[in-house]
Amino acid sequence: MNAILPVTSAAASLNVGLNAGLLAKYDGLRVPRYTSYPTAPHFTPQVSADVYRGWLAELDTASLAGSLYLHVPFCQKMCWYCGCHTKIVARYAPIAEYLGHLRREVGMVADLIPGRLKVRHIHFGGGTPTMMAPEDFESIIALLRQRYDVVDGAEIAVEIDPRTLTKEMADALGRAGVNRASLGVQDFDGDVQAAINRLQPQEMTERTLEWLRAAGIHHVNLDLMYGLPKQSVESVARSARIALSMDPDRLSVFGYAHVPWMKTHQKKIDESALADTLGRWEQFAAIAEVVTGAGYHPIGLDHFAKPTDELSVQQAEGRLSRNFQGYTTDDAEVLLGFGASSIGALPQGYVQNAVPFDQYAQAIEAGKLATGKGLVLTDEDRLRRDLIVRLMCDLAVDVGAVATAHGLDAGAFDADLAGMDDLVADGVAVVEGRRVSVPESARPLMRIVAARFDTYLSTGAGRHSRAV
């Protein structure tokens, strides 16, 4: 589409030196991370199991490509920073029972789709998916290949907690065809790890990588965080250097969201040990300087990738995508979500399974879809989604060209553009004709610019994360 304006700046030009006054100005603003548009807080029960059933029956498998997301919401120990839907278990029985429901749901959805959906991406998220027994993981992969047309070379990615991975499981991942692994690290500093209840020595992460690479899994992503208790500019830079020594293809760098009123286990975190807003962004800037200095390219809001990685390639070509797993090379029109709380995206709209485990299990045991809520997309939603995705991926978008591509007048968003004068004055956005861009120096604030195209934000702002 002509509206795509790829980012061509070199990694070395990354500049996240925001001034304290600007950070203070936007500190209290809450905006979405835009892994979808409209975002999940606006989903409603009006999208029921019957609605989802109808959507599945309408899918044209001859022309549509698909992706599969499987949510395995179990961990052995609670990390105090965690914001995910997960459950702590000490026995395997609850996991085995849940996997039985997951298998049944996989088959149930496949039966409702006319023909076999061609699948190019499979992602296991959590929780800790690798808490599955090796034989259970391999059987689920076999089931997916049986019920869906998983193409040769499909990306099969798994999120991994190095504290619980065994060599037997690493070998099973390799045999099952997994070709991308995402390892949770967060920070290599022992004091920080103790403060978040996640003790993970560097040697443990290195051993995990050795096992994975020996099993034939060479595409690796490491997750780091900033804004955690007891972190400093020096400590996060040191963690970034350690991460780079492990030669990952990608690094994801997330800011800790302290929401103890929503996630009660976060009350165990000492708030006095958390950096203020300026301190958080100094930490992010320190990580970015280390990583880009090593030749990695900045990808959107919070990812970094080697120049040869497909994320960097697609960003340079203006083809980068964004979905519920973040920045991705996956541009499939159909994303099927399996498991409690999982979210799917179809041409008709979004659908989310029931979040509570018992509600999910009861529906599946009764032979019903576990749909809890969702949202029907309108033409305007699709238009604004395209604007926001391109801005989040490319830091620039030709608003007029996107409007024209959707059959509207090029000036359809002129009022929105005129309303960005304050962002332009602050240096957060640049408006040239109908082209909007985010300067490298304002990259961490791109969500604020994207939010100007969000017509739902006023009714859900309190449920989103801080802008800075």
Task: List beta partners, residue 397.
Answer: 4, 436
* Alpha-helix runs per DSSP H in 13-92: 20-26, 49-58
Report the pLDDT value the prediction gives residue 261, as an integer from 0 to 100.
Answer: 87
Q: Which residues contact 306 (CB under 8 A, 6 or more apart)?
A: 249, 250, 295, 296, 297, 312
| Number of C-beta neighbours around residue 265 at 10 A | 15
Q: Is the pLDDT of residue 15 over 80?
A: no
Place 22 in a pLDDT band, splitting at 50, 70 and 90. confident
pLDDT at 25: 81
Is residue 7 very low, low, confident or very high in pLDDT (cuts 50, 70, 90)?
very low
Percent of the chain with pLDDT strictly greater than 70: 93
25 against 230, higher pLDDT = 230
Q: Is the model's pLDDT at 302 over the cut of 70?
A: yes
pLDDT at 278: 85
| Global model pTM greater than 0.85 | yes
Phi then psi dihedrals of residue 380, to 5 deg: -65, -35
For residue 3, the model assigns a pLDDT of 35
User: What is residue 440's predicted lDDT score, i.e. its pLDDT?
Assistant: 87
Provide the pLDDT for residue 310.
96
- pLDDT tens digits, residue range 179-234? 999 999 999 999 999 999 999 999 999 999 999 999 999 999 999 999 999 999 99
pLDDT at position 13 over 50:
no
Q: How far is CA 370 from the centre of its chain?
A: 22
Average pLDDT, integer, range 15-33: 72
Task: Work out the percent of the chain whose per-residue pLDDT is above 90.
Answer: 84
Q: Which domains, ranges and CATH numbers included, belong to the chain? A: 11-33+378-463 (1.10.10.920), 42-376 (3.80.30.20)
Q: Which two tokens stand for residue 407?
A: 């059959």
- pLDDT band, very low/low/confident/very high, at 461 (cuts 50, 70, 90): very low
pLDDT tens, position by position, 241-265? 999 999 999 999 999 988 898 889 9
What letter does residue 377 receive in the DSSP assignment?
P
| Per-residue confidence (pLDDT) for residue 18, from 0 to 100 | 59
Q: What is the mean pLDDT of residues 139-161?
A: 97
- Distances in whole angstroms, Cα of residue 76 to Cα of each of 81, 92, 98, 131, 261: 15, 10, 15, 8, 23
Rounded to whole angstroms, the Cα distance separating 160 from 138 reads: 16
d(CA 101, CA 268): 33
- CA torsion, ordered 401, 402, 406, 407, to nearest 10 deg: -30
Per residue in 345-400, pLDDT tens? Answer: 999 999 999 999 999 999 999 999 999 999 999 999 999 999 999 999 999 999 99
